[in-house]
Structure 1
Amino acid sequence: MHVLVNGVRLFVDVANPGLVPRGHEMKEKPVLLMLHGGPGFDHAPFKEAFSTLRDVAQVIFFDHRGNGRSGGDDPATWNLAQWGDDVKGLCDALGIIKPIVCGLSFGGFVAQSYATRYPKHPGKLILLSTAAKIDFSVVFETFARIGGPEIGALAESYWTKPTLERRSIYRRRCVPFYRHQRARPIEPIHALMRPDVALHFNGLPNEHGRFDFRQALATVACPVLMIGGEHDPIVPVSLAEETAWSLPSHLVRFERLANCSHDVHSDDPARVFSIIREFIADGGSGWN
Protein backbone atom coordinates (compact mmCIF):
# COMPACT_ATOMS: atom_id res chain seq x y z
CA MET A 1 0.00 0.00 0.00
CA HIS A 2 0.99 3.62 -0.38
CA VAL A 3 0.77 6.25 2.37
CA LEU A 4 0.99 9.98 1.73
CA VAL A 5 3.85 11.42 3.79
CA ASN A 6 5.23 14.94 3.46
CA GLY A 7 3.77 15.30 -0.02
CA VAL A 8 5.08 11.95 -1.34
CA ARG A 9 3.45 8.52 -1.53
CA LEU A 10 5.64 6.04 0.37
CA PHE A 11 5.28 2.32 -0.23
CA VAL A 12 4.51 0.49 3.03
CA ASP A 13 4.52 -3.27 3.61
CA VAL A 14 3.17 -4.73 6.88
CA ALA A 15 4.50 -8.17 7.79
CA ASN A 16 1.95 -9.23 10.41
CA PRO A 17 -0.98 -8.18 12.60
CA GLY A 18 -0.29 -5.90 15.53
CA LEU A 19 -3.33 -6.91 17.59
CA VAL A 20 -3.33 -10.59 18.55
CA PRO A 21 -5.52 -12.75 20.82
CA ARG A 22 -4.15 -13.75 24.20
CA GLY A 23 -6.66 -15.88 26.04
CA HIS A 24 -9.85 -13.86 26.40
CA GLU A 25 -8.09 -10.56 25.56
CA MET A 26 -6.46 -8.88 22.61
CA LYS A 27 -2.85 -7.80 23.06
CA GLU A 28 -1.15 -5.09 21.00
CA LYS A 29 2.44 -5.75 19.95
CA PRO A 30 5.01 -2.95 19.80
CA VAL A 31 5.68 -1.62 16.29
CA LEU A 32 9.10 -2.20 14.77
CA LEU A 33 9.66 0.11 11.80
CA MET A 34 12.40 -1.25 9.55
CA LEU A 35 14.58 1.22 7.60
CA HIS A 36 16.28 -0.53 4.70
CA GLY A 37 19.84 -0.06 3.48
CA GLY A 38 21.01 1.58 0.29
CA PRO A 39 20.17 4.13 -0.90
CA GLY A 40 19.00 2.99 -4.29
CA PHE A 41 17.44 -0.24 -2.94
CA ASP A 42 14.05 -1.13 -1.52
CA HIS A 43 12.98 -3.15 1.50
CA ALA A 44 12.64 -6.47 -0.33
CA PRO A 45 16.13 -7.92 0.39
CA PHE A 46 15.59 -7.42 4.12
CA LYS A 47 11.96 -8.49 4.45
CA GLU A 48 12.34 -12.24 4.91
CA ALA A 49 15.05 -11.96 7.57
CA PHE A 50 13.48 -9.20 9.66
CA SER A 51 9.96 -10.58 9.38
CA THR A 52 11.13 -13.30 11.78
CA LEU A 53 10.70 -10.68 14.52
CA ARG A 54 6.93 -10.83 14.06
CA ASP A 55 6.69 -12.97 17.21
CA VAL A 56 7.71 -9.98 19.35
CA ALA A 57 6.57 -6.98 17.27
CA GLN A 58 4.42 -5.84 14.41
CA VAL A 59 7.06 -5.39 11.71
CA ILE A 60 6.47 -2.60 9.19
CA PHE A 61 8.70 -2.02 6.17
CA PHE A 62 8.69 0.92 3.79
CA ASP A 63 10.75 2.20 0.88
CA HIS A 64 12.51 5.49 1.51
CA ARG A 65 11.56 8.48 -0.62
CA GLY A 66 13.04 8.06 -4.10
CA ASN A 67 13.68 4.35 -3.49
CA GLY A 68 11.86 1.22 -4.59
CA ARG A 69 8.13 1.67 -5.05
CA SER A 70 7.95 5.00 -3.24
CA GLY A 71 7.49 8.34 -4.95
CA GLY A 72 9.79 11.31 -4.70
CA ASP A 73 11.77 12.00 -7.85
CA ASP A 74 13.22 15.38 -6.85
CA PRO A 75 16.95 14.95 -6.06
CA ALA A 76 16.76 18.03 -3.83
CA THR A 77 14.78 15.87 -1.37
CA TRP A 78 17.21 12.94 -1.40
CA ASN A 79 18.94 13.87 1.83
CA LEU A 80 19.10 12.61 5.40
CA ALA A 81 17.08 15.49 6.85
CA GLN A 82 14.14 14.72 4.54
CA TRP A 83 14.45 10.96 4.93
CA GLY A 84 14.49 11.44 8.72
CA ASP A 85 11.43 13.68 8.57
CA ASP A 86 9.67 11.01 6.52
CA VAL A 87 10.11 8.47 9.34
CA LYS A 88 8.32 10.82 11.75
CA GLY A 89 5.72 11.67 9.09
CA LEU A 90 4.99 8.02 8.35
CA CYS A 91 4.48 7.31 12.06
CA ASP A 92 2.10 10.27 12.27
CA ALA A 93 0.16 9.08 9.22
CA LEU A 94 -0.19 5.54 10.60
CA GLY A 95 -0.82 6.60 14.19
CA ILE A 96 2.31 4.87 15.49
CA ILE A 97 3.36 6.04 18.96
CA LYS A 98 6.81 5.29 20.42
CA PRO A 99 8.00 3.03 17.57
CA ILE A 100 11.00 0.76 17.75
CA VAL A 101 12.97 2.07 14.77
CA CYS A 102 15.54 -0.31 13.29
CA GLY A 103 18.00 1.06 10.75
CA LEU A 104 20.48 -1.07 8.83
CA SER A 105 23.53 0.54 7.17
CA PHE A 106 22.14 3.57 5.24
CA GLY A 107 18.88 2.96 7.10
CA GLY A 108 20.89 3.56 10.26
CA PHE A 109 21.93 6.97 8.95
CA VAL A 110 18.26 7.76 8.42
CA ALA A 111 17.38 6.43 11.87
CA GLN A 112 19.97 8.74 13.43
CA SER A 113 18.62 11.70 11.47
CA TYR A 114 15.11 10.92 12.71
CA ALA A 115 16.16 10.30 16.32
CA THR A 116 18.24 13.48 16.58
CA ARG A 117 15.57 15.63 14.93
CA TYR A 118 12.79 14.15 17.09
CA PRO A 119 14.56 12.81 20.21
CA LYS A 120 11.35 12.30 22.22
CA HIS A 121 9.53 10.40 19.47
CA PRO A 122 11.08 6.89 19.28
CA GLY A 123 10.47 4.28 21.95
CA LYS A 124 13.68 2.44 21.12
CA LEU A 125 16.37 2.60 18.45
CA ILE A 126 18.25 -0.29 16.82
CA LEU A 127 21.32 0.58 14.74
CA LEU A 128 22.90 -2.22 12.71
CA SER A 129 26.19 -1.90 10.80
CA THR A 130 26.05 1.87 10.80
CA ALA A 131 27.86 4.91 12.17
CA ALA A 132 27.38 8.57 13.01
CA LYS A 133 30.13 9.59 10.59
CA ILE A 134 31.97 7.73 7.85
CA ASP A 135 35.74 8.18 7.82
CA PHE A 136 36.56 6.98 4.33
CA SER A 137 40.29 6.71 5.03
CA VAL A 138 39.42 4.00 7.57
CA VAL A 139 37.04 2.38 5.06
CA PHE A 140 39.76 2.15 2.39
CA GLU A 141 42.28 0.75 4.88
CA THR A 142 39.76 -1.87 6.05
CA PHE A 143 38.85 -2.99 2.53
CA ALA A 144 42.56 -3.41 1.75
CA ARG A 145 43.17 -5.35 4.96
CA ILE A 146 40.21 -7.69 4.44
CA GLY A 147 40.20 -8.05 0.65
CA GLY A 148 43.75 -7.16 -0.37
CA PRO A 149 45.29 -4.11 -2.12
CA GLU A 150 43.28 -4.47 -5.35
CA ILE A 151 39.95 -4.53 -3.50
CA GLY A 152 41.07 -1.57 -1.41
CA ALA A 153 41.94 0.37 -4.56
CA LEU A 154 38.59 -0.46 -6.22
CA ALA A 155 36.70 0.68 -3.11
CA GLU A 156 38.66 3.92 -3.03
CA SER A 157 38.04 4.49 -6.74
CA TYR A 158 34.26 4.25 -6.33
CA TRP A 159 33.78 6.12 -3.05
CA THR A 160 36.04 9.04 -4.06
CA LYS A 161 34.32 9.50 -7.43
CA PRO A 162 31.06 7.55 -7.75
CA THR A 163 30.01 6.78 -11.32
CA LEU A 164 27.67 4.17 -12.78
CA GLU A 165 30.58 2.21 -14.27
CA ARG A 166 32.58 2.24 -11.04
CA ARG A 167 29.47 1.28 -9.08
CA SER A 168 29.02 -1.80 -11.27
CA ILE A 169 32.62 -2.88 -10.65
CA TYR A 170 32.32 -2.12 -6.93
CA ARG A 171 29.17 -4.20 -6.59
CA ARG A 172 30.77 -7.14 -8.39
CA ARG A 173 34.18 -7.09 -6.70
CA CYS A 174 33.80 -5.32 -3.32
CA VAL A 175 30.26 -6.00 -2.10
CA PRO A 176 30.98 -9.74 -1.58
CA PHE A 177 33.17 -8.65 1.35
CA TYR A 178 30.04 -7.36 3.09
CA ARG A 179 29.57 -11.05 4.01
CA HIS A 180 32.08 -12.66 6.36
CA GLN A 181 30.67 -16.13 5.67
CA ARG A 182 31.54 -15.96 1.99
CA ALA A 183 31.20 -19.72 1.57
CA ARG A 184 27.44 -19.22 1.81
CA PRO A 185 25.65 -19.12 -1.56
CA ILE A 186 24.83 -15.56 -2.58
CA GLU A 187 21.08 -15.11 -2.44
CA PRO A 188 19.44 -13.37 -5.42
CA ILE A 189 18.61 -9.70 -4.91
CA HIS A 190 15.00 -8.91 -5.81
CA ALA A 191 15.22 -5.19 -5.06
CA LEU A 192 14.09 -2.43 -7.39
CA MET A 193 17.38 -0.65 -8.01
CA ARG A 194 17.73 3.15 -8.25
CA PRO A 195 21.43 3.83 -8.96
CA ASP A 196 20.69 7.52 -9.55
CA VAL A 197 19.71 7.89 -5.89
CA ALA A 198 22.83 6.02 -4.79
CA LEU A 199 25.12 8.18 -6.94
CA HIS A 200 23.44 11.32 -5.57
CA PHE A 201 24.20 10.33 -1.96
CA ASN A 202 27.24 8.04 -2.06
CA GLY A 203 30.85 8.83 -1.42
CA LEU A 204 33.19 11.56 -0.32
CA PRO A 205 31.87 14.28 -2.68
CA ASN A 206 28.28 13.90 -1.49
CA GLU A 207 26.30 13.88 1.76
CA HIS A 208 27.71 10.45 2.57
CA GLY A 209 31.08 12.10 3.09
CA ARG A 210 29.75 15.11 5.03
CA PHE A 211 27.11 14.02 7.53
CA ASP A 212 28.10 13.84 11.19
CA PHE A 213 25.62 12.96 13.96
CA ARG A 214 28.19 12.49 16.75
CA GLN A 215 27.39 15.66 18.65
CA ALA A 216 23.63 15.48 18.07
CA LEU A 217 23.42 11.88 19.37
CA ALA A 218 23.82 13.21 22.90
CA THR A 219 20.19 14.37 22.68
CA VAL A 220 18.80 10.86 22.06
CA ALA A 221 16.43 10.01 24.91
CA CYS A 222 15.48 6.36 24.28
CA PRO A 223 17.30 3.03 24.73
CA VAL A 224 19.61 2.22 21.81
CA LEU A 225 20.96 -1.13 20.63
CA MET A 226 23.98 -1.06 18.31
CA ILE A 227 25.44 -4.11 16.59
CA GLY A 228 28.62 -4.05 14.52
CA GLY A 229 30.65 -6.75 12.79
CA GLU A 230 34.39 -6.96 13.35
CA HIS A 231 35.01 -7.68 9.65
CA ASP A 232 32.78 -4.94 8.23
CA PRO A 233 34.73 -3.04 5.53
CA ILE A 234 32.16 -0.37 4.63
CA VAL A 235 31.26 0.61 8.21
CA PRO A 236 34.38 -0.48 10.13
CA VAL A 237 33.60 -1.50 13.68
CA SER A 238 35.81 1.27 15.09
CA LEU A 239 33.39 3.82 13.57
CA ALA A 240 30.43 1.99 15.10
CA GLU A 241 32.17 2.01 18.49
CA GLU A 242 32.80 5.75 18.20
CA THR A 243 29.09 6.18 17.51
CA ALA A 244 28.20 4.22 20.66
CA TRP A 245 30.46 6.51 22.69
CA SER A 246 28.56 9.51 21.32
CA LEU A 247 25.25 8.23 22.74
CA PRO A 248 24.18 8.68 26.38
CA SER A 249 26.07 5.90 28.16
CA HIS A 250 23.13 4.80 30.31
CA LEU A 251 20.95 4.23 27.24
CA VAL A 252 23.22 2.39 24.81
CA ARG A 253 24.02 -1.31 24.47
CA PHE A 254 26.79 -2.10 21.99
CA GLU A 255 27.42 -5.59 20.62
CA ARG A 256 30.60 -6.29 18.67
CA LEU A 257 30.28 -9.58 16.77
CA ALA A 258 33.50 -11.42 16.00
CA ASN A 259 32.35 -13.54 13.05
CA CYS A 260 30.37 -10.94 11.12
CA SER A 261 30.93 -8.44 8.35
CA HIS A 262 28.45 -5.77 7.21
CA ASP A 263 25.52 -8.17 6.80
CA VAL A 264 25.42 -9.11 10.49
CA HIS A 265 21.87 -10.44 10.19
CA SER A 266 22.99 -12.92 7.52
CA ASP A 267 26.39 -13.84 8.96
CA ASP A 268 25.02 -14.74 12.42
CA PRO A 269 21.22 -14.59 12.31
CA ALA A 270 20.68 -16.64 15.46
CA ARG A 271 22.82 -14.31 17.56
CA VAL A 272 21.64 -11.06 15.98
CA PHE A 273 17.92 -11.78 16.22
CA SER A 274 18.31 -13.17 19.75
CA ILE A 275 19.93 -9.89 20.82
CA ILE A 276 17.20 -7.85 19.11
CA ARG A 277 14.41 -9.89 20.72
CA GLU A 278 16.02 -9.45 24.14
CA PHE A 279 16.29 -5.70 23.55
CA ILE A 280 12.66 -5.40 22.46
CA ALA A 281 11.53 -7.33 25.54
CA ASP A 282 13.73 -5.34 27.92
CA GLY A 283 12.04 -2.72 30.08
CA GLY A 284 14.45 -0.09 28.76
CA SER A 285 17.05 0.11 31.52
CA GLY A 286 19.79 0.23 28.90
CA TRP A 287 23.31 -1.08 29.21
CA ASN A 288 26.60 0.63 30.04
Structure 2
Amino acid sequence: MATIKIAGGELNYRLDGREDAPVLVLSNSLGTDLHMWDDQIPAFTEHFRVLRYDTRGHGSSSVTPGPYTIEQLGKDVIALLDALNIQKAYFCGLSMGGLIGQWLAVNTGDRIRRVVLCNTAAKIGNDDVWNTRIDTVLKGGQKAMLDLRDASIARWFTTDFAEAESIKVKRITDMLANTSPEGYAANCAAVRDGDFRDQLTSVTIPVLIVAGTHDAVTTPEHGRFMQEHIAGAEYAEFSAAHLSNVQAGDVFTQRVLAFLTA
Protein backbone atom coordinates (compact mmCIF):
# COMPACT_ATOMS: atom_id res chain seq x y z
CA MET A 1 0.00 0.00 0.00
CA ALA A 2 1.12 3.56 -0.71
CA THR A 3 -0.38 7.03 -0.89
CA ILE A 4 -0.26 10.14 -3.03
CA LYS A 5 -1.23 13.66 -2.01
CA ILE A 6 -4.63 14.93 -3.10
CA ALA A 7 -6.39 18.17 -2.26
CA GLY A 8 -6.88 18.09 1.49
CA GLY A 9 -5.41 14.67 2.14
CA GLU A 10 -4.06 11.40 0.69
CA LEU A 11 -5.26 8.74 -1.71
CA ASN A 12 -4.43 5.15 -0.77
CA TYR A 13 -3.46 2.85 -3.64
CA ARG A 14 -1.91 -0.51 -4.42
CA LEU A 15 -0.03 -1.84 -7.46
CA ASP A 16 0.13 -5.53 -8.39
CA GLY A 17 1.65 -7.25 -11.40
CA ARG A 18 4.64 -6.85 -13.70
CA GLU A 19 6.12 -3.38 -13.89
CA ASP A 20 6.37 -3.58 -17.69
CA ALA A 21 2.69 -4.55 -18.19
CA PRO A 22 0.00 -2.07 -19.30
CA VAL A 23 -1.84 -0.46 -16.39
CA LEU A 24 -5.42 -1.32 -15.45
CA VAL A 25 -7.13 0.94 -12.90
CA LEU A 26 -9.88 -0.60 -10.74
CA SER A 27 -12.38 1.71 -9.01
CA ASN A 28 -14.52 0.59 -6.08
CA SER A 29 -18.24 0.90 -5.49
CA LEU A 30 -19.84 3.16 -2.91
CA GLY A 31 -19.18 1.77 0.57
CA THR A 32 -16.39 -0.66 -0.33
CA ASP A 33 -12.63 -0.33 -0.79
CA LEU A 34 -9.92 -1.59 -3.14
CA HIS A 35 -10.20 -5.11 -1.71
CA MET A 36 -13.57 -5.59 -3.42
CA TRP A 37 -11.45 -6.61 -6.44
CA ASP A 38 -9.34 -9.23 -4.65
CA ASP A 39 -10.88 -12.16 -6.55
CA GLN A 40 -9.93 -10.59 -9.90
CA ILE A 41 -6.28 -9.89 -9.11
CA PRO A 42 -4.70 -13.29 -9.93
CA ALA A 43 -6.19 -13.32 -13.46
CA PHE A 44 -5.88 -9.59 -14.13
CA THR A 45 -2.20 -9.50 -13.17
CA GLU A 46 -1.42 -12.12 -15.82
CA HIS A 47 -2.02 -9.35 -18.36
CA PHE A 48 -1.85 -6.02 -16.51
CA ARG A 49 -0.12 -3.95 -13.88
CA VAL A 50 -3.22 -3.52 -11.70
CA LEU A 51 -3.66 -0.19 -9.94
CA ARG A 52 -6.32 -0.25 -7.23
CA TYR A 53 -7.18 2.67 -4.98
CA ASP A 54 -9.61 3.62 -2.22
CA THR A 55 -11.91 6.34 -3.51
CA ARG A 56 -11.67 9.56 -1.51
CA GLY A 57 -13.65 9.10 1.73
CA HIS A 58 -13.28 5.30 1.64
CA GLY A 59 -10.89 2.73 3.07
CA SER A 60 -7.50 4.18 3.96
CA SER A 61 -7.86 7.29 1.80
CA SER A 62 -8.49 10.62 3.49
CA VAL A 63 -11.99 11.74 4.40
CA THR A 64 -11.84 15.28 3.09
CA PRO A 65 -14.76 17.71 3.64
CA GLY A 66 -17.77 16.98 1.42
CA PRO A 67 -19.88 16.99 -0.56
CA TYR A 68 -17.85 15.46 -3.41
CA THR A 69 -18.56 15.42 -7.14
CA ILE A 70 -17.92 12.77 -9.77
CA GLU A 71 -15.68 15.28 -11.55
CA GLN A 72 -13.60 15.62 -8.37
CA LEU A 73 -13.34 11.84 -8.04
CA GLY A 74 -12.42 11.51 -11.70
CA LYS A 75 -9.69 14.10 -11.31
CA ASP A 76 -8.36 12.05 -8.38
CA VAL A 77 -7.80 9.19 -10.85
CA ILE A 78 -5.93 11.49 -13.23
CA ALA A 79 -3.86 12.84 -10.32
CA LEU A 80 -3.00 9.25 -9.37
CA LEU A 81 -1.92 8.45 -12.93
CA ASP A 82 0.14 11.63 -13.09
CA ALA A 83 1.85 10.93 -9.77
CA LEU A 84 2.85 7.48 -11.01
CA ASN A 85 3.93 8.76 -14.45
CA ILE A 86 1.28 6.70 -16.24
CA GLN A 87 0.27 8.39 -19.48
CA LYS A 88 -2.50 5.98 -20.54
CA ALA A 89 -4.37 3.23 -18.70
CA TYR A 90 -7.30 0.86 -18.96
CA PHE A 91 -10.14 1.42 -16.48
CA CYS A 92 -12.78 -0.74 -14.81
CA GLY A 93 -15.22 0.69 -12.26
CA LEU A 94 -18.33 -0.66 -10.58
CA SER A 95 -21.41 1.37 -9.55
CA MET A 96 -19.92 4.67 -8.29
CA GLY A 97 -16.70 3.53 -9.93
CA GLY A 98 -18.69 3.22 -13.15
CA LEU A 99 -19.84 6.83 -12.84
CA ILE A 100 -16.19 7.81 -12.45
CA GLY A 101 -15.45 5.73 -15.56
CA GLN A 102 -18.12 7.61 -17.50
CA TRP A 103 -16.60 10.95 -16.48
CA LEU A 104 -13.17 9.76 -17.58
CA ALA A 105 -14.50 8.46 -20.90
CA VAL A 106 -16.33 11.72 -21.61
CA ASN A 107 -13.60 14.11 -20.48
CA THR A 108 -10.23 12.35 -20.64
CA GLY A 109 -10.44 9.90 -23.51
CA ASP A 110 -6.81 10.66 -24.35
CA ARG A 111 -5.73 9.05 -21.04
CA ILE A 112 -8.00 5.96 -21.08
CA ARG A 113 -7.54 3.17 -23.62
CA ARG A 114 -10.63 1.11 -22.86
CA VAL A 115 -13.23 1.37 -20.10
CA VAL A 116 -15.48 -1.20 -18.39
CA LEU A 117 -18.61 0.19 -16.75
CA CYS A 118 -19.99 -2.39 -14.31
CA ASN A 119 -23.37 -2.34 -12.57
CA THR A 120 -23.80 1.35 -13.07
CA ALA A 121 -26.04 3.83 -14.86
CA ALA A 122 -25.82 7.21 -16.53
CA LYS A 123 -27.95 8.42 -13.61
CA ILE A 124 -28.26 6.35 -10.43
CA GLY A 125 -31.35 6.83 -8.24
CA ASN A 126 -33.04 10.13 -7.45
CA ASP A 127 -32.40 13.06 -5.15
CA ASP A 128 -34.87 11.95 -2.48
CA VAL A 129 -33.22 8.55 -2.06
CA TRP A 130 -29.75 10.01 -1.76
CA ASN A 131 -30.72 12.94 0.45
CA THR A 132 -32.48 10.60 2.85
CA ARG A 133 -29.46 8.33 3.01
CA ILE A 134 -27.07 11.25 3.53
CA ASP A 135 -29.23 12.57 6.37
CA THR A 136 -29.49 9.10 7.96
CA VAL A 137 -25.75 8.37 8.03
CA LEU A 138 -24.75 11.86 9.18
CA LYS A 139 -27.24 11.70 12.06
CA GLY A 140 -26.71 8.03 12.91
CA GLY A 141 -22.93 7.81 12.55
CA GLN A 142 -21.29 4.40 12.65
CA LYS A 143 -24.49 2.75 13.92
CA ALA A 144 -26.19 3.85 10.71
CA MET A 145 -23.35 2.29 8.71
CA LEU A 146 -23.93 -1.00 10.51
CA ASP A 147 -27.62 -0.82 9.61
CA LEU A 148 -26.70 -0.07 5.99
CA ARG A 149 -24.41 -3.10 5.96
CA ASP A 150 -27.27 -5.39 6.94
CA ALA A 151 -29.61 -3.83 4.38
CA SER A 152 -26.99 -3.95 1.63
CA ILE A 153 -26.81 -7.73 1.53
CA ALA A 154 -30.11 -7.96 -0.35
CA ARG A 155 -29.09 -5.20 -2.76
CA TRP A 156 -25.59 -6.44 -3.46
CA PHE A 157 -26.21 -10.20 -3.73
CA THR A 158 -29.00 -12.61 -4.54
CA THR A 159 -30.43 -14.54 -1.60
CA ASP A 160 -29.06 -17.90 -2.70
CA PHE A 161 -25.54 -16.49 -3.15
CA ALA A 162 -25.63 -14.71 0.21
CA GLU A 163 -26.58 -17.97 1.92
CA ALA A 164 -24.07 -20.14 0.06
CA GLU A 165 -21.15 -17.70 0.28
CA SER A 166 -21.75 -16.11 3.67
CA ILE A 167 -18.04 -15.67 4.46
CA LYS A 168 -17.36 -13.89 1.17
CA VAL A 169 -20.46 -11.73 1.59
CA LYS A 170 -19.44 -10.75 5.12
CA ARG A 171 -15.97 -9.74 3.94
CA ILE A 172 -17.48 -7.35 1.40
CA THR A 173 -20.29 -5.94 3.53
CA ASP A 174 -17.94 -5.35 6.46
CA MET A 175 -16.22 -2.80 4.21
CA LEU A 176 -19.43 -0.77 4.30
CA ALA A 177 -19.72 -1.05 8.08
CA ASN A 178 -16.18 0.30 8.41
CA THR A 179 -16.65 3.22 6.02
CA SER A 180 -16.59 6.71 7.51
CA PRO A 181 -20.14 8.11 7.71
CA GLU A 182 -18.83 11.52 6.62
CA GLY A 183 -16.93 10.01 3.71
CA TYR A 184 -19.89 7.87 2.71
CA ALA A 185 -22.28 10.84 2.81
CA ALA A 186 -19.88 12.97 0.75
CA ASN A 187 -19.74 10.26 -1.91
CA CYS A 188 -23.52 9.78 -1.83
CA ALA A 189 -23.75 13.43 -2.91
CA ALA A 190 -21.39 12.74 -5.81
CA VAL A 191 -23.53 9.80 -6.96
CA ARG A 192 -26.71 11.83 -6.47
CA ASP A 193 -25.48 14.63 -8.71
CA GLY A 194 -23.75 12.48 -11.34
CA ASP A 195 -25.71 12.52 -14.60
CA PHE A 196 -24.20 11.52 -17.94
CA ARG A 197 -27.40 10.86 -19.90
CA ASP A 198 -26.74 13.75 -22.27
CA GLN A 199 -22.98 13.20 -22.55
CA LEU A 200 -22.55 9.54 -23.45
CA THR A 201 -22.81 10.14 -27.18
CA SER A 202 -19.48 11.99 -27.02
CA VAL A 203 -17.59 8.87 -25.88
CA THR A 204 -15.28 7.56 -28.59
CA ILE A 205 -13.10 4.99 -26.76
CA PRO A 206 -14.05 1.28 -26.59
CA VAL A 207 -16.55 0.52 -23.80
CA LEU A 208 -17.86 -2.67 -22.23
CA ILE A 209 -20.99 -2.41 -20.11
CA VAL A 210 -21.59 -5.12 -17.50
CA ALA A 211 -25.00 -5.63 -15.89
CA GLY A 212 -26.51 -8.05 -13.39
CA THR A 213 -29.80 -9.74 -14.29
CA HIS A 214 -30.94 -9.47 -10.66
CA ASP A 215 -29.52 -6.00 -9.97
CA ALA A 216 -32.33 -3.81 -8.63
CA VAL A 217 -30.02 -0.81 -8.09
CA THR A 218 -28.60 -0.39 -11.59
CA THR A 219 -30.77 -2.61 -13.73
CA PRO A 220 -30.05 -4.23 -17.10
CA GLU A 221 -32.25 -1.49 -18.58
CA HIS A 222 -29.79 1.09 -17.27
CA GLY A 223 -26.99 -0.87 -18.91
CA ARG A 224 -28.83 -1.06 -22.23
CA PHE A 225 -29.42 2.71 -22.13
CA MET A 226 -25.68 3.30 -21.91
CA GLN A 227 -25.00 0.80 -24.67
CA GLU A 228 -27.50 2.52 -26.95
CA HIS A 229 -25.92 5.92 -26.37
CA ILE A 230 -22.23 4.94 -26.67
CA ALA A 231 -21.19 4.12 -30.22
CA GLY A 232 -19.89 0.57 -30.53
CA ALA A 233 -20.32 -0.27 -26.82
CA GLU A 234 -20.36 -3.96 -25.93
CA TYR A 235 -22.79 -5.40 -23.38
CA ALA A 236 -22.51 -8.38 -21.04
CA GLU A 237 -25.07 -9.54 -18.48
CA PHE A 238 -24.52 -12.05 -15.70
CA SER A 239 -26.80 -13.86 -13.27
CA ALA A 240 -25.90 -11.59 -10.36
CA ALA A 241 -27.16 -8.72 -8.28
CA HIS A 242 -25.27 -5.44 -7.81
CA LEU A 243 -21.72 -6.67 -7.14
CA SER A 244 -21.34 -8.82 -10.23
CA ASN A 245 -17.56 -9.05 -9.94
CA VAL A 246 -18.02 -10.89 -6.62
CA GLN A 247 -21.09 -12.96 -7.46
CA ALA A 248 -20.26 -13.89 -11.07
CA GLY A 249 -16.60 -14.45 -10.19
CA ASP A 250 -14.57 -16.15 -12.91
CA VAL A 251 -17.20 -15.61 -15.61
CA PHE A 252 -17.08 -11.86 -14.94
CA THR A 253 -13.29 -11.85 -14.85
CA GLN A 254 -12.85 -13.69 -18.13
CA ARG A 255 -15.38 -11.54 -20.01
CA VAL A 256 -13.73 -8.34 -18.80
CA LEU A 257 -10.28 -9.67 -19.72
CA ALA A 258 -11.50 -10.66 -23.19
CA PHE A 259 -12.61 -7.08 -23.78
CA LEU A 260 -9.55 -5.41 -22.28
CA THR A 261 -7.08 -7.58 -24.22
CA ALA A 262 -8.94 -7.50 -27.54
TM-score bracket, normalised by the shorter chain, equals 0.7 to 0.9
CA apart distance, 1:93: 1.4
Q: For 2:82 and 2:35, how far apart are their aligned partners in 1? A: 23
Question: Which of structures 1 and 2 has the larger relative contact order (alpha carbons within 8 angstroms, sep 6+)?
Answer: 2
CA distance in 2, matches of 1:35, 1:156: 21
CA contact (8 A) 2:96 2:191 kept: no
- Establish whether residue 95 from structure 1 lines up as the match of residue 73 from structure 2: no
Q: Secondary structure at the match of 2:77?
A: helix
Query: Partner of 1:123: helix, strand, or coil?
Result: strand
2:241 corresponds to: 261
Shift of 1:54: 0.6
In structure 2, list runs of 5 or more residues that go unmatched.
Answer: none
SS of 1:75's equivalent in the other structure is coil
Count residues in correspondence.
249
Structure 1 residues 12-23: aligned runs within 5 Å: 12-19=13-20
2:186 aligned with 1:208? no
Give the corresponding residue for 2:181: 195
Shift of 1:172: 1.0
Q: Unaligned regions of 5+ residues in structure 1, if any?
A: 20-28, 138-154, 283-288
Question: Residues 193, 54 of structure 1: CA spacing in aligned structure 2 closer, same or farther, 3 A cutoff?
Answer: same
Task: Quote the Cα distance in structure 2 between the aligned partners of 1:31 and 1:135.
Answer: 31
SS at match of 1:55: coil
Identity %: 21
Query: How many Å apart are 1:169 and its aligned residue?
Result: 3.2
1:240 maps to 2:219: no
- Alpha carbons of 1:264 and 1:253: their partners in 2 closer, same or farther (altered >3 Å)? same
Larger radius of gyration: 1
Partner of 1:146: none
Q: Is the 8 A contact 1:157 1:166 kept in 2?
A: no
Q: Deviations over 1:148-186 (max 9, x none)?
A: xxxxxxx89965964336654343134334212233222
Q: Which has the higher helix share?
A: 2
Secondary structure class of the residue paired with 2:163: coil
Q: Matched residues in 2 for 1:243 and 1:136: separation?
A: 18
| Maintained 8 Å contact 1:105/1:130 | yes
1:107 maps to which residue?
97
In structure 2, the partner of 1:182 is 162
In the superposition, the TM-score normalised over structure 2's length comes to 0.84
Distance 1:125 1:17, change over 3 A: same
Q: Is the 8 A contact 1:229 1:264 kept in 2?
A: yes
Aligned to 1:275: 255
